Amino acid sequence: MLMHGPVNAEAADEFDAALEALRARFGFGAGPLGLFGGSAGAGVALEVATQRDDVAALVALSPLLQLRPVVAILGELFGVDYRWSPESDAVAARMDYVARVAELGETPVRLVVGSEDDASAFLRPARDLAGHSHLSAYDIAIRFSYVGAPGNASIGICFTASIPKPVRTTAPRNTSSRCRTEKSSIGLIISLLAERLSLGKRTGELKRAAGLPILDPTREAAVIRRVTASARAAGLPPEPIREVFWQIVGMSRREQESQ
């Protein structure tokens, strides 16, 4: 309550003055605004969007959409058991942008989250918020990185894949509609796998250029551990998911070795 609440509220309160200062400095006039924020800054952007009617679009990167799960994961990370009070409950309620989505009106919002972001603190809230009818999409940014020994080169590759929001309808979808949706989902999965292998090939080239080994068992095991944790958090059986992702990791490694 002493950090997240004041930072979010005070930054949003200062937005008008900051905007006027920027207008005076750079000479741009009044008009629709586009907002961008990352992590806690994304929460500020969302708070500002709930207060203004001239926000034309908002992009939120790994956004803090709900305070409670973020506090929980930070507590686990630092070994702190945070005790909620009525005052901090009120701050958490104010910073629950999934619950407050109606206050965003018709503002288009794009959420970009990482496959390595925590499932409960970032992925699930992003999917929940993206399910509302006025949001166009959310992205899963899949990050591949290799960090060598001290002094060696570090390689980071990132790509994003847009996932359209589900079409909402009050009537049950017929069989042909369900088939089209399933085909679209299958096509998306295949497209992501093809992109992953393409990135694997490029990663292999970069590793060889930097004199780094292709095989990195520690990194591969860490990826599988995160995948397993995300599967459990999503209520999926971890073993089949682990097997699938070991296959994907192996395909990528073989693509890197084939150069």
pLDDT higher for 1 or 163?
Answer: 1
pLDDT at residue 182 above 60?
no
Res 101 pLDDT > 80: yes
**In the predicted structure, residue 117 carries a pLDDT above the cut 50:** yes
- List the domain boundaries for the chain: 1-135, 169-259
For domain 169-259, give its CATH number from 1.10.1270.20, 2.40.30.30, 3.40.50.720, 1.20.59.10. Answer: 1.20.59.10
Handedness of CA 88, 93, 94, 95 (dihedral sign): positive
- Dihedral (CA of 245, 247, 250, 252) sign: negative
Mean pLDDT of the residues in the chain:
75
Per-residue pLDDT, 225: 84
- Written in H, E and C, the secondary structure of the chain is CCCHHHHHHHHHHCHHHHHHHHHHHHCCCCCCEEEEEECHHHHHHHHHHHHCCCEEEEEEECCCCCHHHHHHHHHHHHCCCCCCCHHHHHHHHHCCCCCCHHHHCCCCEEEEEECCCCHHHHHHHHHHHHCCCCCCEEEEEEEEEEECCCCCCEEEEEEEEEEECCCCCCCCCCHHHHHHHHHHHHHHHHHHHHHHHHHHHHHHHHHHHHCCCCCCHHHHHHHHHHHHHHHHHCCCCHHHHHHHHHHHHHHHHHHHHCC
Residue 48 pLDDT: 92
Asked if pLDDT for residue 131 goes beyond 80, the answer is: no
- pLDDT exceeds 60 at position 31: yes
Greater pLDDT, 191 or 124: 124
pLDDT at residue 173 is higher than 60:
no
Check: CB of residue 167 under 8 Å from CB of residue 130.
no
